[in-house]
Amino acid sequence: MKESACGSPVEPNSFTGEDCCEFQVHGSVAVINALLRVLSKQPGLRPAHPGEFSKRAFFNNKLDLTQTEALGDLIHAETELQRQKALGQMKGNLKQLYTDWRRTIIECLASIEAYIDFSEDEIIEDNILNTIRSQVETLVNNIEKHIELSNKCGVRIRSGIKSVIIGEPNVGKSSLMNFLCQKETSIVTHLPGTTRDIIEKHLDIGGYPVLLLDTAGLRNVTSDVIESEGIERARSHLTESDLTLILIAFTPEMLAKGFESILESYLRNVLSLNEDIDNLLDKTSTRDKPPSSSQQSLSEKRYLIVINKIDLATSEQQDRLETIVKAYGNVEVVSCKQGTNLNKLLENVQEQLILLCGSLNTPTLSFTQSRHGFHLTETVRYLRRYVALQSTGREFDLTVAAQQLRFGVRELGQITGEVRVDEVLDVLFSQFCIGK
């Protein structure tokens, strides 16, 4: 096998990096079985283990661990965003980032070695230790931002953006659920308190993976034990919701008493939401400008307020309400019963998803595996320890401090597989199906 300048093999150019032979046969079960029967009689031939091809590719330096994990994500991708994210990672975008960070620490270590060996000969610049410290601090900052972004976005992309529909009983939550699912997922009746348990559905909304939850209507007083358990569950899911769809039915008081004051009292008294209404209402209407795709400005949580049953308003009331809500980027006026403005609502849901996860065209550079988060957090811990030791003053032991950087290098290497940990490899490759 030939090797490239950096030591990685360039031939054979197969997926595994090994010589291989491929059979293209007719697809009938009988033909395939006959072929397998013949092959299994050949000495030294056996069926591949689960993940064996990927494992061989990894050991032949065709893939690093982040790329192998991306291959697993690609196999399981259900939405366009998941597919694009996995493809980017397979092409090595995370590998490059972590390799660059690792190299920065190794360079700092090399400078420390030089300082220890030559500082007395005064051929080393005086401020070299300060330069190293500021490089390490910058790295800590970058890794922390990456962890924060990934916690917000990467994990959402992998497991689905959690979107909870909440509101009083009978406002039309299940009707909205059924519209978004495009099927009769939840039971709808005229009786308040129809939905009691959580109804969950995985959806692909415009390429974004969404876990949509219909909940029991929230009310403060109920003598029904089952309903009050449902309300408890709804409230507990609400705390974990990324995109909350707050449903409220149209009432003429919205116009008479003012939309914001009615909404505020609904949030406080019915939903017991402690969110400040000024934070919750998006007054920089997203309709006027394209949503931001900047990676740093991704939201923690989003709210979309849906005023339902607008068919019960007169046309004059409808016009007035629609004029009022134009000032807000996250309020929609709809009728689930008559289908009014539901497509507009769907567009707004997609805008909220972009604000949560970034745009489809520029997927964020974030990790989706909690394993990466663990090693990156450990890396930050060691780098911070280095900075703390150096900050203690002139007496600090540079050899001990440098050891922290070495630990940091090791942690980063565990993400890409530079430092091979057999347990991690076994778990990883066993998740692939036979022969992948």
Ligand X SMILES: Nc1nc2c(ncn2[C@@H]2O[C@H](COP(=O)(O)OP(=O)(O)OP(=O)(O)O)[C@@H](O)[C@H]2O)c(=O)[nH]1
Q: What does the binding site for ligand X look like in residue numbers (CB under 6 A)?
A: 167, 169-175, 188-190, 192-195, 217, 308-309, 311-312, 335-337
Q: Which is nearer to ligand X, 335 or 348 (CB)?
A: 335
The amino acid at residue 129 is: L
Q: Using CB under 5 A, which of 79, 163, 195, 286 touches Mg ion?
A: 195
Closer residue to ligand X, CB minimum distance, 70 or 306:
306
Min separation Cβ 186 and Mg ion, Å: 6
Write down the least CB distance from residue 164 to Mg ion, Å.
13
3-state secondary structure string, 203-239?
EEECCEEEEEEECCCCCCCCCCHHHHHHHHHHHHHHH
**Which residue number, 185 or 293, has a Cβ lying nearer to Mg ion?**
185
Contact letters for Mg ion, residues 63-92 (x by CB under 5 A)? ------------------------------
CB nearer to Mg ion: pick between 17 and 169: 169
The residue among 340 and 403 lying less far from ligand X, judged by its C-beta, is 340
Q: For residue 308, state whether it binds Mg ion (rule: CB under 5 A).
A: no
Q: How far is the CB of 193 from ligand X (least distance, A)?
A: 5
| Nearer CB in complex with ligand X: 89/195 | 195
Least Å distance between CB 266 and ligand X?
14
With respect to ligand X, which residue has the nearer C-beta, 341 or 364?
341
The site partner of 66 among Mg ion, ligand X, none (C-beta below 5 to 8 Å per kind) is: none
Number of residues that bind Mg ion (CB under 5 A): 4
Nearest in space to 328 (alpha carbons), one of 358, 355, 306: 306
Minimum distance of ligand X from residue 250's CB (angstroms): 8
Task: Give residue number: closest CB to ligand X.
Answer: 217
| Residue 336: CB minimum distance to Mg ion, A | 11
Q: Which does 308 bind (CB under 5 to 8 A by kind): Mg ion, ligand X, none?
A: ligand X
Which of Mg ion, ligand X, none does residue 417 bind to, with CB < 5 to 8 Å depending on kind? none
Taking the complex as a whole, the smallest distance from the CB of residue 231 to Mg ion amounts, in Å, to 12
Footprint on residues 156-175 left by Mg ion (CB under 5 A):
173-174
Q: Which does 171 bind (CB under 5 to 8 A by kind): ligand X, Mg ion, none?
A: ligand X
Q: Which is nearer to Mg ion, 174 or 335 (CB)?
A: 174
Work out what residue 312 binds among Mg ion, ligand X, none; the CB cut-off runs from 5 to 8 Å by kind.
ligand X
- Residues 204 and 244: their CA atoms lie apart, in Å, by 17
368 binds Mg ion (CB under 5 A): no
Minimum CB distance to ligand X, residue 335 (Å): 4
Which spans of this chain sit near Mg ion (rule: CB under 5 A)?
173-174, 194-195
